[in-house]
Amino acid sequence: MPGLIERYQSRLPFADGDPVISLEEGSTPLVFAPRLSERVGVEVWLKIEGANPTGSFKDRGMTCAVSAAVRDGAQAVICASTGNTAASLAAYAARAGIRGVVIVPEGKIAMGKLAQALMHGARVIALHGNFDRALQLVRELSATHPIALVNSVNEFRVEGQKTAAFEIAEELDEQLDALCIPVGNAGNITAYWRGFNELGMRPRMFGFQAAGAAPLVHGHPIEQPETVASAIRIGNPARWEQAMDAMTSSGGSVNAVSDEQILDAYRFLAAQEGVFCEPASAASVAGLIAHGAGEAQRVACVLTGHGLKDPDTALQQVGAVIPCEPELSAIERAVMS
Ligand code: F0G
């Protein structure tokens, strides 16, 4: 499959001959979820964004943001991140042969994401502060230094991420009543809404935030956001107004889900649907289970990142392995009991 820029060039701000930094992102599976559909009583489809090259939806935005940065002559790219943007930036910067710098909240990003950012050769800076502070600082830094900011405040990120809406539309013949999506910094819900609008579609947009990090639900920034879903541990989303507009003008809403509800959906998807996503991603399904999706008959849930990103949280949720002596009788007992 070609990458996104090649696949959707006529709908993206790129011209023939522009540099394209791609890892053949996008074209991710949209999988029907029979057990979840039965549980919630509507037809549910899962958009598996963990199937992107670095394991999250960020690659859609990053191919565009880094390609545009290279076109503009940037020698370095930077972001603040709860982990996935960092991993994606690092990979695309490596691919482009430019410097990558990421600022992450110290001790608060999942192990897989940290490994990715370091392996791809980015400079990883652990801030004694949260994501919101990190974003504030990189915005200030990039305003006065020749380093391109590729957080979702960058328009190219939103442009790239809107292509996920195109893919869902193609697969479902534009027949979709509602989209359920986790909301952190609010770039992705903004992007989906833009994508659907460009096609003349108006599915209800249901955004879900973790209860301890739910500024849009409370209507004010949260100073110290907390949740097991570290990817969406964000207290002051950059695209606040656009996210609220997507939800209100589509007839959707924003709601909170507890960590317990997130982890229940996380285990359910892995054990009942065979789909392993990260905790933040499961917020979309937790929200659908807890709050429903209005009158919708057909719903898509966006699973934003791969479960392997965060092995620590996974291992805390499941039973222990079974130790066994290397003898047939012992193996028999272990397997059959
Ligand atoms: N799900 C995952 C797995 C994420 O990594 C993020 C955001 C979101 C959902 C929320 O998307 O911010 O567009 O509303 N992660 C960012 C990062 C903040 O730095 O990786 P959003």
CATH number at residue 219: 3.40.50.1100
Which ligand 1 atom is nearest residue 309's CA? 3
Indicate if the pLDDT at residue 178 is higher than 90. yes
Decide if 332 is inside a domain: no
Is the pLDDT at 150 greater than 80? The verdict is yes
Render pLDDT for 84-138 as a digit per residue (tens, 0 to 9): 999 999 999 999 999 999 999 999 999 999 999 999 999 999 999 999 999 999 9
Whether pLDDT at 148 is above 80: yes
Segments in 145-174 forming alpha helices (H): 155-161, 163-171
- Domain total in the chain: 2
Same domain, 143 and 287: no
Residue 324 in domain: no
CB 305 within 8 A of CB 50: yes
| Confidence at residue 27, expressed as pLDDT on a 0 to 100 scale | 98
Q: How far apart are CA 47 and CA 81, in angstroms?
A: 22
Same-domain status, 170 and 34: yes
185 C-alpha to ligand 1 centroid (Å): 6
pTM over 0.85: yes
* Confidence band of 42 (pLDDT split at 50, 70, 90): very high
- What pLDDT score does 25 carry? 98
pLDDT at 337: 86
Say if residue 231 is in the same domain as residue 140: no
What is the token pair recorded at 51?
Answer: 């199937």
Query: Which ranges of the chain does DSSP label H, i.e. alpha helix?
Result: 4-7, 34-40, 58-71, 84-96, 111-119, 131-144, 155-161, 163-171, 187-198, 215-218, 240-249, 259-273, 279-291, 311-317, 328-336
**Average pLDDT over the chain, rounded to whole?**
97
Q: How confident is the model at residue 245 (pLDDT cuts 50, 70, 90)?
A: very high
Expressed as residue numbers, the domain containing 225 is 4-56+160-316
Cα–Cα distances in angstroms (integers) from residue 262 to residues 133, 171, 290, in the given order: 25, 27, 10
Nearest CA to ligand 1 atom 11: 184
Last residue of some domain: 100, 121, 155?
Answer: 155
The C-alpha atoms of residue 237 and residue 221 are separated, in whole angstroms, by 8
Buried-state track 291-301, b at ≥16 Cβ within 10 A, e below 16:
bbbeebebbbb
Residue 309: predicted pLDDT = 98
- Residue 113 CA to ligand 1 centre (angstroms): 12
Given 138, 155, 172, the domain boundary residue is 155
* Mean pLDDT to the nearest integer, 234-261: 98
How high is the pLDDT of residue 38?
98
As a whole number of angstroms, the distance between CA 262 and CA 243 comes to 21
Ligand 1 atom, smallest distance to 183 CA = 14
| Encoded tokens for 117 | 């950012």
* Mean of pLDDT values over 309-318: 97
% residues pLDDT > 70 (the chain): 100
**Residue 16: what pLDDT?**
96
